[in-house]
Amino acid sequence: MIKVIYFDLGKVIINFDYARALRELAQVTPVPETEIMRVLTDDSLILDYETGKISTSDFHQLVSKTLKLNVSLKKFKELWGSMFLPEPLLSESFLQALKKHYRLFLLSNTNEIHFEFVQEKYPILRHIEEHVLSYQVGWMKPDKQIYREAIERTGVQPEEIFFTDDRQENVEAARSTGIQAVQFHSEHELKREMRLLGISF
């Protein structure tokens, strides 16, 4: 019987579009959008930031130097956070209904800037009681260690946990630890998958 439901954040609860942030950042730097994209999707830099190996201040300084940015950290947070689209992918009523029967948790590869931004902008996240975030725990999905941490946080057995993520490799990694997991496509499809597992809402 499911007791805890874990959601991924981006492309599950909240949608995003990198192009929005690129357009905003392009207004304040002479560097072309292709270079902005390269820097902000640089595997080693993002990996270090999203696993907490470098601080937000250091990340801001590194990006500012590379992109010739002269904006405050506060302004940079706004510009980079503009990638998130206003309307959530999940309805608040759906989370409210689930919350009556299950504990709702978040399992996300993210960073301090983005998580602080979405917490301020998206009231729907108040229905989530616990967060397992890559930058806080030091591991990223699909590393099995982050799923072990997620299981430990709940105090329940892996088979009593349901998880949804938009990336299939993250779903498969969760399943390998005993968690019941499905790939996210839409709220409608998620509800169908949940009903098959006897999840009430």
Q: What is the pLDDT along the chain (201 residues), one digit of tens a residue?
A: 999 999 999 999 999 999 999 999 999 999 999 999 999 888 899 999 999 999 999 999 999 999 999 999 999 999 999 999 999 999 999 999 999 999 999 999 999 999 999 999 999 999 999 999 999 999 999 999 999 999 999 999 999 999 999 999 999 999 999 999 999 999 999 999 999 999 999
- Same-domain check for residues 64 and 111: no
Residues 186 and 131 in one domain: yes
d(CA 174, CA 191): 19
Confidence (pLDDT) at 42: 81
Residues 109 and 148 in one domain: yes
- Distance CA(201)–CA(35), nearest Å, equals 45
Domain count, the chain: 2
Residue of 130, 150, 122, 96 lying closest to 10 (CA atoms): 122
Q: Are residues 43 and 11 in the same domain?
A: no
Last residue of a domain, one of 32, 57, 81: 81
Nearest by Cα to 187 from 20, 15, 16: 15
What separation in angstroms does the CA of 172 have from each of 110, 112, 169, 181, 185?
Answer: 19, 26, 5, 8, 15
Say if residues 39 and 18 touch (Cβ distance below 8 Å). no
- Helix 144-154 to helix 168-176 angle (10° resolution) is 60
pLDDT score recorded for residue 43? 82
- Predicted model pTM: 0.95
How many CA atoms does the CB half-sphere of 20 hold within 13 Å? 12
99 shares its domain with 189 = yes
Report which DSSP code applies to 41: T
**114 and 190 inside one domain:** yes
Q: How far apart are CA 114 and CA 81, in angstroms?
A: 6
Please list the alpha-helical segments (H only) found in the chain.
18-26, 33-40, 43-50, 56-67, 73-81, 92-99, 112-121, 134-137, 144-154, 168-176, 187-196
Residues with Cβ within 8 Å of 54's Cβ and at least 6 positions away in sequence, in order, are 48, 62
Identify the bridge partners of residue 151 per DSSP, sorted by sequence position.
Answer: none
Compute the distance between CA of residue 163 and CA of residue 177 in angstroms, rounded to an integer: 12
Helix (H, G, I), strand (E, B) or coil at 30: coil
pLDDT at 40: 87
The helix-helix angle for 33-40 and 56-67 (nearest 10°) equals: 150
Same domain, 189 and 94: yes
Question: Does any domain span residue 201?
Answer: no
Q: Given 56, 81, 106, which residue is the final one in a domain?
A: 81
Residue ranges making up the domain that contains 58: 18-81
125 and 64 belong to one structural domain = no
Task: Note whether 77 and 91 are same-domain residues.
Answer: no
Q: Are residues 96 and 161 in the same domain?
A: yes
Same domain? 93 vs 142: yes
